[in-house]
Structure 1
C-alpha cells in the first residue's frame, strides 16, 4: 500500500502544546512524557493501528475497549507498552479516566458511524482542541462531520482497501491516482507507460506472490509510479476488454441464458424431447405429402396442435405419423403451460429474495456485502464489469446497493458448494471473498477452486501469517487483510501526517510522504543519498525552501538544507526512520513557563 502524508516540523503554537503535555503528564504512568494517543475500538483495525503506533514509537498509547473481547480479534494485551481501559460506553467520564485531556489525538475506529460521532462530541467536551481521526463508512456523512470539528480527519478503511481487491480481481495494478505538486501520479505497469513519464520504480512483481518492494535497482521494478498523460490505467483497460468480450458474446449468450432460465432441467428435457419428436415425424410426414416448405410447416403445426382428421384411405405409415404427432401435441400443450407458470414463479421469487438464476460468463463473483464488499461491487460496476454478489444476509449493508445497481444477489451460505455453482463460478473472471469471517472466506475459496482449478481467487484474511501459508499451500492468487492495508494511513493521520492516497502492492504497505527537514536535524546539510535506503525509502522529489516547484527525481548528490521538503516512497519502518532523521531531538519536557510579553 502507498499513502501520502505530511509531517509538520512544529505546531503553530508550541507553548500551548507544551502546556497541554505538561498537564497530561500528571496523569501518565512512570512520568511518561511522550505524546499521548488514545484509540477506541474492538476489531482488527484497532489491533493493527495500535501496533503501528507502537512500532513507530509515536508515543504513549491508551486503548479503550469494551469489557467483552471479540474472540476473532487478537488480544490487545499481547502488545507491550500500552495502557488498556475497559468501558462499554464512550462517555466524558470514560475519556477523563483515559487521560484524554492534553492528548495529541483520539482515534474512533468502531464500525458505527453514529456512535463514533457521539463519542467525538463527548471527547470534545473533555479536550476541545483534541485532534480527531474518525472511521466513517458513508462518504456523504463524513464530509459533513469534518465541518463539525476544528481538527478532524475522516477516513474509511473499506474505501482504502476496495481498490486493492478490484485490481486483484482484474489482474492489474490498483486503480489509484493522486495529485501532488502540480502533477497527477498513478500506479501502472512499466510496459504500459512511456519511459519519460516514470517517476519511481515501486516493486518487482514478476515472482508470483513474492514481490520485491522498492528494489535497490529501480530498473528492476515492473510496477512503477508514473505521471498521468491522459491514457487509461491498466485496470480500466482490463475492464474495457472484458466489456468488449461480453458485448461480442452477448447475443448468443443472452439466448442461451434465456432458454436456461426459462425452465428447470426436467421441464426443459421433456420439452426438447417432444419438440424433437414433432420435428422428426413432421418432416417425414411432409415429405410423404410432397409439400412445399410453408405448406409443410402449416400442415405439421395444425396436425400437432389440433389433431388431424381421420383419413382411412391413406397408407398405414402416414396414419402412424399422424397419431404420433397428435399424441406429441397433447404432451406439448401442458409442457408449455408448465414452463410459463414456472417462469412467472421464478421471476417473483427472484424479485422477492434478490436471486437471479440466469448464468453468467466472464463476470466477477463477490462474496460478502459488508463495508468492503459494498465498495467493491460499486467500483466494479463503475468500471463496466459484470458482477454477481453473494451474502447469507438478505439485509446486508450492500444488498440495497446491489438492487439499486441491478446486480444479481444470491442469498445463501458459501459454505455450501451449490451456492457458488448458482453464481456461475465455473465461468467467472475471478472470485472475490471479502466477508468478515476468515473461516467462511477460506471455505468459499476452496470450494471455488474445487469447481475450477485455475480460478483467480482474491481473499480477505486478517491473519498475515495464515495468508502467506494459504497462498503457498493452495496457490490462491491473493489474500489480503483490510486492516493491514488501512492501518498505516490511520496511524499517519493520528501522527498529523496528512494522508493523500493509498495504493496497495500485493500485501505490502508503502507510504508516499512529504517530509519537512528541520534545521539542526541529522539530515540537515547532508545529500539526498543519505535519505535513501534500499528496500525501505526512496526520494522522488526535493522541494527547496523558497522555490515554487520541486525537483523531480533528484540526483543523490543534491544537498538538503533545513526548511526543504522531501517527497518519498517508503515502507512503514523506512518512513519512521526518515522522520527521526529529519526532526530535531525533542526538548526535555519540563513544566513550561509562559514567555515574557
Structure 2
C-alpha cells in the first residue's frame, strides 16, 4: 500500500475530497528530493548502456517522476537500440558535448549528469565543460581505464566513476566455468559474498537469493528461503564460487599429469611431422631391441649400441651375422631420417608459436580451454580474469588491433584474427574440445551464429552468449539450452542509475537475467513503515531485510527478527529487486502532516 492510499484512508468527513487533493499534492512534492517538483537528469550516450540507464531511471521512480534529457549524436549507429523511441524522454541531438550543448539541454539546475560514451578522454572533457555550466552537479562517468578513473574522480567534488565491463566480466567468467558470479562487497564491518549453499556453512548464510535448480524456472528471492541454492553469505576466508572451480581444475590437472604432457608434445608440431617422427622412433626402438637380443648384451649396453648406430652409423664388419648387419643398416637409415624430422619439428613449433601470437593463426589442437570471441571492453576483461585463474584461453577477434589485442599478446594468449562466427575459425580454436565458448562481441547476429556453429561442433559445449534483446535471449536459451547473459548494459544499468540519483546502493548482484540490489534505506518520521514490524518491509519476491541498525547506533544487527518494531531513523539493509526497492523508498519517505479540515459553511 503506497503513501497516497494511506492518506486517503485517513481522510473522512464532508471535507474529504478537498483534503485529499491537498494531501496528495503535498505528498507528491515531498517524495521529490530537495523540494524540486521534477528532478532533472541528463544522460549522454546512444548505445545499449544509455538505453537501459534511461529505462531504469523511468522504472525506478514511478511515484517521483523525473525529467530526463538524452543527448545523442545526430547520426545513429546501426545496431544500437533506438533510445529516441522511449516515451517521456527529451532528445537533444548534438555532435559535440560542449558548454553550448549542455545549456541547450538545460543542464543548469539539473540534479545529475551521466556521461556514458565509450571514450574515456571524451567523457573527461565533457565533464569539465559541464562543470562550467553547473558547478554543483552530480557526475557519473563511464570509464574503461580504472587507474585513470581513480585520478579523475579526485578532480570533481561529486563524481562517481564506473565501468560496465568490470561489472559484467565476472558474470561471464563464472558462467563459463559453470559457477556463480564472484560477487562480494563489504558493509557494516562484514564482507558478504554470493555462493552456492553447498559451499558455505549454514550459520554463515545471510539470505537466500535464488532457486536456480530448474534452468527454465528461475526463482529470485523465493518465499521459502530454504529452497534457494544461491545465497548471500558471510565471507570466512574460504574460497567459493569461481575460486573453487579453479582449484577443482588444478586438482584435475594434478591427477592427470600425463594428459598435459601429451598435449604439450602434441602441440609442439603439426600432426604429419609428429606422426613421422614417432614412426621413426618406433623403428629405432624395435630394431634396437632386436639388436640387443642378437648381441646378447645388457639393457644399458643395448641403449648405447642403438644410439651410437642410429646417429653415427655402424662400422662395417664382413664376418658379422647377416641379421645384425640388416639391423645396423636399418638403424643407420632411421638416424638419417630422424635428424631432419627433429629439425623440422623444432622449426615448425617455433613458427606456430609466433603465428599464434602475432598473425593470429592457431594450428595447435587444445582441449579443456575456454574460447573467448570478441576482444572489446568486456572480452579483454574476461580473458584477463580467466588467465589470472589459471584457465587456458584462446582469443578470437576479426580486428587485429582490437582493444584487448595488446593484453592477449602480453599474456601470451593465442590470438586468432578471424571472423568468430565462421565454423572454420571455431575449428581452428579447437572449440570441439574446449570446456566453454564465450561470445561477447557487440553484434548479436555474430554471437548467435557462433554459438550455433559451436554447438554443431560440440553438442555438449557450454555456451555463454551476450545478447541485447531480453525476450530474444530468453527464447534462445529455452530453445537451445544456452547459458545467456542478457546484456552487459542490463547488468550495469542499475548501478549507473543508482549512482546518478545518489541512492545508497551498496552492491548489485547479477542472477542470470535478473539484477538484485543491496541497499541501505533510512526510515523517515511519519512514513508508512514507521511503527510497523520488519515483516511489513518484506514484500513477496521483491524485498528481503538482512540487517537493522537502530537510530543513533552504528552497529548493524544482521538477520534481525522480523517481529521487531521499526522506528523513525532506523536504517534497514535489504536485498531487493528494482521494483521492490522503489516500493520500499516510498514506504520509508516521510508523509506530510494532514491539514486541519475546514468545516463546510452552514447554509
TM-score (norm 2): 0.86
1:104 aligns with 2:111: yes
Partner of 1:211: 218
Partner of 1:340: 346
Which consecutive unaligned segments of at least 5 residues does structure 2 have? 1-30, 594-603
Partner of 1:53: 57
Could you tell me how far apart the structure 2 residues matched to 1:144 and 1:54 are?
Answer: 31
Partner-residue secondary structure (3-state), 1:200: strand
Contact in 2 for aligned 1:471/1:479 (Cα 8 Å): no
Could you tell me how far apart the structure 1 residues matched to 2:556 and 2:194 are?
Answer: 20
Could you tell me how far apart the structure 1 residues matched to 2:52 and 2:226 are?
Answer: 33
Could you tell me how far apart the structure 2 residues matched to 1:532 and 1:241 are?
Answer: 38
Task: Choose between structure 1 and 2 for higher RCO, CA contacts under 8 A separated by at least 6 residues.
Answer: 1
1:489-538 residue CA offsets vs partner (Å, 9 max, x unmatched):
11111111143322211111111111122223222233222222111112
1:190-213 residue CA offsets vs partner (Å, 9 max, x unmatched):
222222222211111111143200
Task: Using the TM superposition, name which of 80-89 and 69-78 deviates more.
Answer: 69-78
Could you tell me how far apart the structure 1 residues matched to 2:343 and 2:238 are?
Answer: 54
Partner of 1:190: 197
Contact in 1 for aligned 2:209/2:222 (Cα 8 Å): yes
Could you tell me how far apart the structure 1 residues matched to 2:545 and 2:296 are?
Answer: 87
Contact in 2 for aligned 1:188/1:234 (Cα 8 Å): yes
Partner-residue secondary structure (3-state), 1:255: helix
Residue 312 of structure 1, CA deviation: 4.9
Contact in 1 for aligned 2:356/2:414 (Cα 8 Å): no
The 3 A distance-change label for structure 1 pair 392 and 17 is same
Aligned pairs for 1:394-409 (under 5 A) are 394-409=400-415
The 3 A distance-change label for structure 1 pair 168 and 206 is same
Aligned pairs for 1:563-578 (under 5 A) are 563-578=569-584
Could you tell me how far apart the structure 2 residues matched to 1:278 and 1:241 are?
Answer: 40
Could you tell me how far apart the structure 2 residues matched to 1:89 and 1:570 are?
Answer: 38
Partner of 2:25: none
Partner-residue secondary structure (3-state), 2:256: helix
Aligned pairs for 1:71-110 (under 5 A) are 71-110=78-117
Partner of 2:147: 140
Could you tell me how far apart the structure 1 residues matched to 2:459 and 2:49 are?
Answer: 33
Contact in 2 for aligned 1:240/1:384 (Cα 8 Å): no
Residue 311 of structure 1, CA deviation: 4.8
Contact in 2 for aligned 1:199/1:540 (Cα 8 Å): yes
1:223-267 residue CA offsets vs partner (Å, 9 max, x unmatched):
1112222322232222112122224434x2443233223321222
Could you tell me how far apart the structure 1 residues matched to 2:559 and 2:436 are?
Answer: 37
1:50-75 residue CA offsets vs partner (Å, 9 max, x unmatched):
11111123401111111111221221
Task: Using the TM superposition, name which of 424-433 and 171-180 deviates more.
Answer: 424-433
Contact in 1 for aligned 2:356/2:415 (Cα 8 Å): no
Could you tell me how far apart the structure 2 residues matched to 1:463 and 1:541 are?
Answer: 35
Partner-residue secondary structure (3-state), 2:191: strand
Residue 15 of structure 1, CA deviation: 13
Partner-residue secondary structure (3-state), 1:513: strand
Aligned pairs for 1:342-381 (under 5 A) are 342-353=348-359, 358-381=364-387
Aligned pairs for 1:56-455 (under 5 A) are 56-57=60-61, 58-250=65-257, 252-314=258-320, 317-353=323-359, 358-455=364-461
Partner-residue secondary structure (3-state), 2:276: helix
